[in-house]
Chains A and B, each alone.
Chain A
Amino acid sequence: MKHIISLLLENEAGALSRVSGLFSARAFNIESLSVAPTEDPTMSRLTLVTTGSDAIVEQITKQLNKLVDVIKVVDLNEYEHIERELLLIKLVAEVKEDHDAIKRTVDTFYGRIVNVNDNLYTIEITDTCEKIDAFITTLDDRLILEVVRSGASAISLSDKAIQS
């Protein structure tokens, strides 16, 4: 099952590699990972998406908690939360029908065409990972020039912040 894990991390050199190193050393799955500083510049927020059985995800959170640079670990699946990922994608239209298909699909997925250059469309979509997967699979492979995804960010809807 997919889990979104939110970490607060000391904003120190090497902290990120402790997290990524843990996943490779213990053969845990990692689907995406995004990291940036928080309102407190000494702390970073790291959001990672992983899959595994309950037992494996329990081990993942415990092992993450054990890292000295990790301040807080929360499995967001245990909370009501929202999840967003940014997709930037370049599409190339070859025939007239392609232009129509691109515009229609972008509209359907509430995306935005941020740039058009002759036949080249640059598109931005912010949505759940699943919606972004769906957008990409809906498009004809032939149209896709390049895909850039940010990895998921997520936040709980609780009235309390996940803090140190």
Chain B
Amino acid sequence: MPEKKEILRGAEIFCRALKDEGVKHLFGYPGGAVLHIYDALYKQNDVEHILVRHEQGATHAADGYARATGKPGVVLVTSGPGATNAITGIATAHMDSIPLVVFTGQVPRKMIGNDAFQEVDSIGITRPCVKHNFLVNDVKALATIIKKAFYIATSGRPGPVVVDIPKDVTADSCEYEYPENINMRSYSPVIKGHPGQIKRASKLILSAKKPMIYSGGGVILGEASKELTEFARILNYPITNTLMGLGAYPATDQQFIGMLGMHGTYEANMAMHNCDVLVAIGARFDDRVTGDLEKFCPYAKIIHIDVDPSSIAKNVPVDIPIVGDVKHVLKDLNKILNSAKNKLDENRNELELWWKQIREWSSIDCLKYDRTSSIIKPQHVVEKLWELTNGNAYITSDVGQHQMWAAQFYKFDKPRRWINSGGLGTMGFGLPSAMGVKLAFPNETVACITGEASLVMCIQELSTCLQYGTPIKIINLNNRYMGMVRQWQEFFYSGRYSHSYMEALPDFVKIAESYGHAGIRIEKSGDVENALKEALSMKDKTVIMDFITDQTENVYPMIASGKGHHEMHLSSERELA
């Protein structure tokens, strides 16, 4: 006798499917179109719902959760404004290829298109910023669509998937069966790299005299840090990471020569400019990384490994493209390289000369800043945080100067510890994403390095932090300016600081206290370390540390737009010969 399947309502199917998918946390905000679902959530204990205070916070929190754990972040919002508020977070995840599954409520099917209350075309509005989206037209399709959504979000090049569920579908009933596997004729990501291409690449890699490894966020998403580290170590080649790739290779290792790009290190950018073979791994040649494309890596043959064929040769022509999962491709490459050590010995002298050159570039100490200042230097705060957390904290950030200082001065030795909006550059990301990370890892130190302009963009989530007991440490590098806007206005607009000064700022200590947290205001450089120690010792408290920092400090070094990697600007006091 065939097993009799349960008949469930759409709302119950939603909850059961999440359970069967292994979802532990759901970030959401209720509203009319999702009330049936919220009623079903009330009656179950498998999935913990985290009530955010704004839907943007839900998507960022789920995003932070996903970046830190590698598991998909899951969001539930209502129709109309619930969906539109979530868009910024969805687009943020899309630009950085983060797996999210976002459920949006929709008005009942018969009202779609009638300009009903809280109706918006969520499918249309999210289409350009999702990997895929679904409108559920029939309760019988719901379980399969949820399975497909998780499969698409997490496979190949990951990304956000939106599932739009009309209210009446959540009231309808049908037999529940959650599919074990999904097979889609229109979607099958490539995993193994082409063996011929891998062989060609290994030959070129071994022939290099001035090699360079440039790896990005794809290595972290593809869980390939171990393979990348082995790859670099076999070869003893210099390696740089993109902003999104930090932590994929240990930053304290001597082969690591810093981040590259607009605010990358001098040595990384000079090595890019002068290399003869460039191995790009899980990176997408973003404009903040390449500088002027006309001047990009003029002497290099380029190998590019990426799971997404459309990333290859999009901005920069490539000599040897390899489409495949980075972990698989690197494993295959390492196997070949391990058995070709004698070939490496042949080039040892050239490689030594190349390293000598790179060490000379490093000796410029491009990240130098005034360590004697009594005014708080933001770099000093990040450096101290790194020391006091032994480089082991999860660090989220917002967008701007503080983000660059975090990337430059917090040396990430492990993947998934550096959580920032690299692609979309979303202010307001830091606080909710830190909350998401802390939920995933309650015993780890989670700090949000932010600035006063970014922090206030999603400050309402302090309330969520209190409700769910997610004690995060907020490092507010408060320079009373939108720092990066101010920096560009100083450099490129003759110091006309148009609307970049934050007048009438709140008292951040009182804000922290009014939300039930702790606040510390730090005004002198000498107090930085003790304040950080104090905050870190308050294990159960969310703490806002309001560091009153040097207003004139700029992020250096810098490649201005239209310049190449070899045309870096070191600082206002120092110019290159």
Residue-wise, chain A 36-65 has the 8 Å CB interface mask toward B (1 for contact) of 000000000000000000010011001101
Interface residues of B in 399-457 (CB under 8 A from A): none
A70 to B152 alpha-carbon distance, docked (Å): 14
Are the C-beta atoms of B309 and A65 separated by less than 8 Å? Answer: yes
Known contacts A66-B308, A68-B132, A71-B185: does B124 contact A17 (CB below 8 Å)? yes
**Are A164 and B185 neighbours in the complex by a CB distance under 8 Å?**
yes
Q: What chain B residues lie within 8 Å of A70 (beta carbons)? A: 186
Q: Is the CB of B127 within 8 A of A21?
A: yes
A59 CA to B317 CA, complexed, in Å: 12
Q: Are B310 and A62 in contact (CB-based, < 8 A)?
A: yes
Contacts of A69 in B (CB 8 A): 132, 186
Alpha-carbon gap, A63 to B312, bound state (A): 11
At the interface, yes or no: A25 with Cβ under 8 Å from chain B?
A: yes
- Which of B124, B128, B152 meets A25, CB within 8 Å? B128
For window 1-32 of A, CB contacts with B under 8 Å fall at 10, 13-14, 17-18, 21, 25
For A55, what are the chain B residues with a Cβ–Cβ distance below 8 Å? Answer: 313, 317
Give the chain A neighbours of B314 by CB distance below 8 A: 59
Q: Does B123 have its Cβ within 8 Å of any Cβ on chain A?
A: yes
Q: Which of A18, A63, A68 contacts B187 (CB 8 A)?
A: A68
Within B279-330, the residues touching A (CB, 8 Å) are 308-310, 313-314, 317
Q: Which residues of A contact B313 (CB under 8 A)?
A: 55, 58
**Beta-carbon contact of B128 and A21 below 8 Å:** yes
**In the complex, which residues of chain B have a beta carbon less than 8 angstroms from the beta carbon of A164?**
185-186
Contacts of A14 in B (CB 8 A): 123-124, 127, 135
A-B contacts, CB under 8 A, total: 39
Chain B residues near A58: list those with CB within 8 A.
Answer: 313
Q: Out of A10, A13, A25, A63, which one reaches B310, CB within 8 Å?
A: A63
A68-B185 CB under 8 A given contacts A17-B124, A21-B127? no
B186 to A10, Cβ gap below 8 A?
yes
Residue of B152, B185, B186, B313 contacting most chain A CB atoms (<10 Å): B186
B:130-162 near A, CB below 8 Å:
131-132, 135, 137, 152
**How long is the Cα–Cα vector from A14 to B132 in the complex, in angstroms?**
11
> Which residues between 70 and 124 of chain B lie within 8 Å of chain A, taking CB atoms?
123-124
A57 to B89, CA, bound (A): 31
A68 to B184 alpha-carbon distance, docked (Å):
9
Q: Which residues of B contact A10 (CB under 8 A)?
A: 186
Residue of A nearest to B133 (CB): A14
A55 to B519 CA separation, bound complex (whole angstroms): 54
| Interchain CA distance A69-B130 in the complex, whole Å | 13
Q: A18 touching B185 by the CB < 8 A rule?
A: no
| Closest-CB distance, B451 to chain A (whole angstroms) | 31
With the chains together, A62 CA to B124 CA distance in Å?
22
Q: How far is the CB of B124 from chain A (nearest CB, A)?
A: 7
Bound-state CA distance A65–B312 (Å) is: 14
Bound state CA distance, A10 and B132, in angstroms?
13
- Do A18 and B127 touch (CB < 8 A)? yes
Asked whether B310 lies within 8 Å of A59 as measured between CB atoms, the reply is yes
Rounded to whole angstroms, the CA-CA distance of A59 and B137 in the bound complex is 33
A29 CB → nearest B CB, Å: 17
In-complex Cβ contact of A68 among B131, B137, B317 (8 A): B131
Docked-complex contact B135 and A13, CB < 8 angstroms: yes
In the assembled complex, the CB of B321 is this many whole angstroms from the nearest CB of chain A, namely 11
Q: How far is the CA of A38 from the CA of B207 in the complex (A)?
A: 51
Q: Which residues of the partner chain A approach B187 to less than 8 Å between Cβ atoms?
A: 68
Residues from chain A with Cβ under 8 Å of B127 in the complex: 14, 17-18, 21
Chain B contacts of A65 at CB under 8 A? 309-310
Bound: A29/B317 CA distance, A: 21
Across-interface contacts of A21 in B (CB, < 8 A): 127-128
Query: In the complex, A63→B310 CA distance in Å?
Result: 6
What residues of chain B lie closer than 8 Å to A17, measured between beta carbons?
Answer: 124, 127
Q: Which residues of A contact B124 (CB under 8 A)?
A: 14, 17
Compute how far the CA of A3 lies from the CA of B411 in the bound complex, rounded to whole angstroms.
Answer: 49
A65 to B156, CA, bound (A): 13
Tell me the bound Cα distance from A164 to B185 in angstroms.
7
Complexed CA–CA distance, A18 and B308 (Å): 18
B317 CB contacts on chain A under 8 angstroms: 55
> What is the CB-to-nearest-CB distance from B97 to chain A, in angstroms, rounded to a whole number?
12
A106 CA to B229 CA, complexed, in Å: 70
Within 8 A of A (CB), among B141-195: 152, 184-187
The 5 closest A-B pairs by CB, nearest first: A62-B310, A68-B132, A71-B186, A164-B185, A68-B187
A14-B135, A68-B186 are known contacts; what are 14 more A-B pairs with Cβ within 8 Å? A13-B135, A14-B123, A18-B127, A25-B128, A55-B313, A55-B317, A59-B310, A59-B314, A63-B310, A68-B152, A68-B184, A71-B186, A164-B185, A164-B186
Contact sample, A vs B, 24 pairs, CB 8 Å cutoff: A10-B186, A13-B137, A14-B123, A14-B127, A14-B135, A17-B124, A18-B127, A21-B128, A59-B310, A59-B314, A62-B309, A62-B310, A63-B310, A65-B309, A66-B308, A66-B310, A68-B131, A68-B132, A68-B184, A68-B186, A69-B186, A71-B185, A71-B186, A164-B185
| Interface of A toward B, CB cutoff 8 Å | 10, 13-14, 17-18, 21, 25, 55, 58-59, 62-63, 65-66, 68-71, 164
Hey, which bits of chain B sit against chain A, CB under 8 A?
Answer: 123-124, 127-128, 131-132, 135, 137, 152, 184-187, 308-310, 313-314, 317
